[in-house]
Structure 1
Amino acid sequence: MEKLLNNKQFCRILVFLLLVLLIGIRVFEKQLFYDPLMLFFKGNYQNQNLPNFESAKLFLNISLRYFMNTLLSLGIVYIIFKDKAQLVFLCWVYLGLYVLLILVFAFLLLNAESPDYLVLFYFRRFLIQPIPLLLFVPALFYQKMMNKS
């Protein structure tokens, strides 16, 4: 496997496939995950009440989606940088982010009032989208460039 990861063409194809899987999670989100907030946030939600939802099922599905995105993102980072220490560090960062985000999301969701909907929307978005990948890859490239000089 190490030999394959040293092949640049293979790595490009693998990163492309992992990105396609990330996109697939987004494209098929309605079929894959229970999330009644999806339609709620597409409409004029500021003047509406939260839809009825099953809390355990919602948190389980949001968590599943977060960890699917995380595994694919960690795969992309490892293929690009091939650094196990960075991978372990990012595992801890992703886990810490998850705990922080899911706790705040749960608090906001279970205590939501109309003005809090926008904050709820953004915390949910951080949980269901691979946003950390967009932050970590440039940061790791920068760190790599600074270590070379």
Structure 2
Amino acid sequence: MKARYRIVFIGMLVIVLAVIRFYESSLFYDPLINFFKSSDYLNDKIPAFKAGLLILNTIFRYILNSIISIGIIAIAFIDRNIVKFSAVLFFILLILAGSVFTYLIFTIENEHFLALFYVRRFLIHPIFILVLLPAFYYYRINNQNIKNRN
């Protein structure tokens, strides 16, 4: 695939991520969106919510963002091993962060609001791709340098 087409496809996927973020309130059940927008949420009372529905929507949003992020990685690097490794990393992150998020949802107290805020943010925003893209780029450059030396 030509580089310009890859850039266009990656740009389209980034736009899809932006659309998901822009329409998050209407696409997903998340009463915590407005709660965390408050400047004084650490002292506020958490709004009533349906825990199961919140967890399912958060996980669905994470999976949706992950699929798009893996698509970006696949188009950027065109390497099956990198795509498989990315998928495994996204899955491990889902298990770890999803477990912590679930725990925090069911044991929510004022002193856990900040932890809930950051774990939730990691799940609902495609932050992990910002780490993986430069890491895989560095890996590819380093690999090419090693091959050129031999």
- TM class by shorter chain equals over 0.9
Q: What is aligned with 2:7?
A: 12
C-alpha offsets along residues 101-130 of structure 1, whole Å, 9 cap, x if unaligned? 010011112112111111110000000000
Matched letter for residue 69 of structure 1: N
Q: Could you tell me whether the CA contact under 8 Å between 2:51 and 2:105 is conserved in 1?
A: no
- Pick one of 21, 25, 30 that aligns with 1:30: 25
The TM-score with structure 1 as length reference comes to: 0.94
The alignment's C-alpha RMSD in Å is 0.8
User: 1:148: how far off?
Assistant: 1.0
Per the alignment, residue 3 of structure 1 pairs with none
Q: Deviations over 1:57-107 (max 9, x none)?
A: 111110111011001100000000000011111111100100100100111
Aligned to 2:95: 99
CA distance in 1, matches of 2:92, 2:17: 21
Q: Secondary structure at the match of 2:47?
A: coil
Instruction: Give 2:20's aligned amino acid.
Output: I
Return the alpha-carbon distance in structure 2 between the equivalents of residues 9 and 145 of structure 1.
20
Match of 2:126 in 1: 130
1: CA distance, partners of 2:5 / 2:138:
24
Distance in 1 of aligned mates of 2:75 and 2:123? 23
The structure 2 residue matched to 1:63, chosen from 34, 54, 59, is 59
The answer to whether 1:84 aligns with 2:84 is no
Tell whether the 8 Å contact from 2:62 to 2:124 is kept in structure 1 after alignment.
yes
Percent identical pairs in the alignment equals 37
Structure 2 letter corresponding to 1:7: K
Displaced runs of 4 or more, over 2 A: none
Equivalent-residue separation in structure 1 for 2:35 and 2:73 (angstroms): 33
- In the alignment, the residues of structure 2 paired with residue 107 and residue 60 of structure 1 have an alpha-carbon distance, to the nearest angstrom, of 14
Alignment gaps of 5+ in structure 2: 146-150
* 1:141 Cα deviation after fit: 0.5
> By how many angstroms is 1:48 displaced?
1.5
Partner of 1:143: 139
